Amino acid sequence: MATSGATILKIFCTFMLFNSDLAVKTFSKKEIRHNRDRVSRMFHYAYDGYMKYAYPYDELQPLTCDGHDTWGKYSLTLIDALDTLAIMGNYSEFRKVADLVIKNANFDVDMNVSVFETNIRIVGGLVSAHLMSKKAGIELEDGWPCSGPLLNLAENVARRLLPAFQTKTGMPYGTVNFRYGVPKGETTVTSTAGVGTFIVEFGALSKLTGDPVFLDTALRALKALWNTKSILGLVGNHIDVATGKWTALDAGIGGQVDSYFEYLVKGAILFKIPELMTMFKGYDIAIEKYLKRDDWYMWAHMTKGTISLPIFQSLDGYWPGLQSLIGDIEKGMKTILNYHQVWRQYGALPEFYSITKGEAHATREGYPLRPEMIESAMYLYQATKDPLLLQLGVDVLESIEQVTKTSCGYATIKNVRDHTLDNRMESFFLAETTKYLYLLFDHDNFIHNTGGHGDVINTPNGECIINAGGYVFNTEAHPIDPAALYCCSAEKKEQDKLLQEMHDEMDLLELLELTDSAALEKDKDKRSMEDRLRDIIGAYGFDDDYANFDDDEDVLDGADLVDDEEENINDEAEDIDATLNLYNKIVKNVKSDQIFKFKIQDGNFQTVTIDKLKTDDAVTDSPLNDNSNKNGDSVGSKDLDNEKAEEKRKQDGSIDKKHTAIDTSAIKQGVTIDDLKSKITKIIEDAKIVSPKESETPTSAIKPDADTSTIVNSNSKQAQSNPFQDISSLMSDMLQQLKKLSERDKTREMPEIFTCPAQPFHSRFSVGGEMFFEE
């Protein structure tokens, strides 16, 4: 079969491409560190030039060594470069500049600014710097990372951008005035990227400040764009934000569109919004079908799918890195090798490169020190560790150093053919180009943390872990820590609440089938009856002799129970567990053949008499015995004077019958202390008593009817003639607590679904977000 000349040429070019790549050497650790340090010197040389010759203007003019304002009048380069200082470890300069920005920044000015550029450079730069403040050693205010001066500035700027989004479609105007909103007569046509590049910065602000308006605004704009896509699944590059109609129909991945696709992926990762990843996958299918030709991505008509511009833009350079984030590593590597060959051809990437002609486009042959290809190299190297990507970094470093360096900075290449220079150094050179190049060679940088370590901080929202990796860069290379966003979010508060409720309800030993919960409760009660008595003696002021009463004594002396110098038992017994132990302490020394009577009136449980009787004389139909019915209704309730009194007592002070067999009706029968002990133990087990912080103490005792009774005030320290006054008070406390507990149990509901909070995203880029994909 004959082979065409074009096919032979293609095979030859492919062979030469990969043969040259295979010749790339491996790099030692020493060489990698050397290149990292070269990048650091490059950054600081340009940064120092800006501070010396251009500050407080927006940018440095590196050929004339002076400054000029470009996107605003807010010292753009200073804010854009702030987090790069932290990433390169220059914390002292970071602190100095942060203080400078906080003191001097003023956005309440009558000035028109680009909504897009101000968001990615100023808002993004301020949010990122705010999140790096702790690492840089800045003294933090209470509430950080959910508050702070840099965050306040970012929020201030973002609020001044919000008026641009007040359109019928929710898509923003391209320009806004910091003081007066959208300028009169402002065009309604905006680029696709200008509509869809807000969710990273605005979403971060919503999480940090608690105000959902920013995230909601960005999401509305993203969804509006999605709803305007063509039947082929493509979008154009300019749209009318008033009508939602496309005004430029060329579809591509580069300039005017690029960061829209980028923010669908990063928004899905950063804020766990699967819908955004679904949108991107829809676009990706259409892009692969209509725009891709032999590992190049061209421009096509959004409704017809026909190629309209067979060119590569330097802004396309971000795409291989984005492919790495969704797991398309092989595709990303093939594409970036094409871009690298263009760099080798000119020592730079022209703004436009004709794929069909294999040369820079005649009218767009400049290179303004863009970072996109280096950004992709950094991402892909983290995924593959392929030394080809380090060689790419070295080639970029050598070209910039040798071709663009001036006496005070680095200049834009005006024409890649002859390397003539232009008098501009854009702020993104310090914000992005040098940062990504540095991170390509600095393999131990904290940005590359894969979750093996982090910083634990205490905040008003509780304990948080930050700086654990998984940073998401905005399109201006400002990294956002997802853990810090989660720390301040409403989701954390809700999930902490669910965790606490689950913790309160969970019996871990029973869950692991290591023990029987019922047996465990019995063992606990047994210990309370025996082993823990002496703990209670010291806590409540009892004398040790109390535990050694003479069994022959008929009546206990109240002076032995409560010392006049001690505090009121009812005041001390706020903890129900301690109260039960105190009860056990008392009843342990009462003979089993002693009988006592008690009543409940107005919700208070009262002991009213003590009799010296034999055990076999005990009345067996007491409601504390097993004769009570299954619903907990007292058999003795028939002795009430009338049903209205009973009903009133139930409403005023009764406990939930679900948890106890004790009724709130008057109890006229006697009961042995052994019987009482067994019944109370059962009540405790059934009610699953915990230790409430507050208990209601009965106020007064009722007057007994029998001559053998003694009037007792349950709050009094005097118990001279009735040692059971303490039991009376304790029983009343228990009844009140049981009522509270039963009411609480009725209203408590376990969550139907329990979800663990997503911790910082790390090492997920290699699997590319499959977690969001739907079958």
Residue 577 appears among annotated catalytic residues: no
Give the tokens for residue 488: 């301040």
In which band, very low, low, confident or very high, does the pLDDT at 104 lie, cut at 50, 70 and 90?
A: very high
Comparison of pLDDT for 115 and 521, the residue scoring more: 115
Walk across the sheet containing 352-354 and list its strands.
311-313, 352-354, 359-360
Output the six-digit token pair for 197: 């590049």
pLDDT higher than threshold 60 for residue 720: no
H/E element, 394: helix 387-399
* Structure token digits, residue 535: 């703990």
Separation CA 17–CA 187 (nearest Å): 46
Task: Verify cis geometry, omega within 30 degrees of 0, for the bond prior to 145.
Answer: yes
Q: Residue 190 and residue 199: Cα distance in Å, rounded?
A: 17
Which residues are CB-neighbours of 556 under 8 A, at least 6 positions away? 549, 589, 590, 723
**Tokens encoding 302:** 């959004």
- In angstroms, the CA 461 to CA 713 distance is 46
pLDDT in tens, 241-284: 999 999 999 999 999 999 999 999 999 999 999 999 999 999 99
pLDDT score recorded for residue 589: 47
CB 635 within 8 A of CB 629: yes
Q: Global pTM?
A: 0.67
Helix (H) / strand (E) containing 372: helix 372-384
What is the sign, positive or negative, of the torsion defined by CA atoms of 497, 503, 505, 511?
Answer: positive
**Is the model's pLDDT at 470 over the cut of 80?**
yes
Q: Is 197 annotated as a binding residue?
A: no
For the chain, the distance separating the N- and C-terminal CA atoms, rounded to the nearest angstrom, is 42
Fold type of domain 76-309: Glycosyltransferase (1.50.10)
Mean pLDDT within 537-549 = 38
C-alpha angle with apex 265: 263 to 270, nearest 5 degrees?
A: 85
Q: Which of 93, 372, 426, 481 is catalytic?
A: 372
> Residue 385: left if φ>0, alpha if ψ -120 to 50, beta else—which one?
left
Comparing 109-118, 247-256, 487-496, 723-732, the range with the smallest average pLDDT is: 723-732
Helices vs. strands in the chain: H and E counts, helices first: 30, 24
- Is pLDDT at 572 greater than 80 in this prediction? no
pLDDT mean over 99-113: 96
Backbone φ, ψ for residue 425 (5° rounding):
-125, 100
Q: Which of 83, 201, 328, 351 is catalytic?
A: 351
Dig out the tokens for 373 from the structure: 């290809």
What span, in angstroms and rounded, lies between the C-alpha atoms of 250 and 270? 30
Confidence (pLDDT) at 713 = 38
Q: Is 258 a catalytic residue?
A: yes
Catalytic residue among 58, 83, 93, 117: 117
Express each pLDDT in 18-66 by its tens digit. 444 446 689 999 999 999 999 999 999 999 999 999 999 999 999 999 9
**H helix or E strand, kind and range, residue 511:** helix 508-511
Whether 351 is catalytic is yes
Contacts of 464 (CB under 8 A, 6+ apart): 456, 457, 458, 483, 484, 486, 487, 492
Could you tell me which of 136, 151, 149, 160 has the C-alpha nearest to residue 100? Answer: 149
What distance in Å separates the CA atoms of residue 573 and residue 622, rounded to the nearest whole number?
28
Quick one: CA torsion of 734, 740, 742, 747, rounded to 10 degrees? -170
Annotation marks residue 567 as catalytic:
no
Lowest mean per-residue pLDDT among 339-353, 582-596, 758-772 = 758-772
Q: For 723-766, how does the pLDDT look when each residue is reduced to its tens digit (9 = 90+)?
A: 445 555 655 665 565 555 555 544 544 433 333 333 333 333 33
Active-site annotation holder among 93, 250, 258, 733: 258
Residues of the chain with CATH 1.50.10.10: 76-309
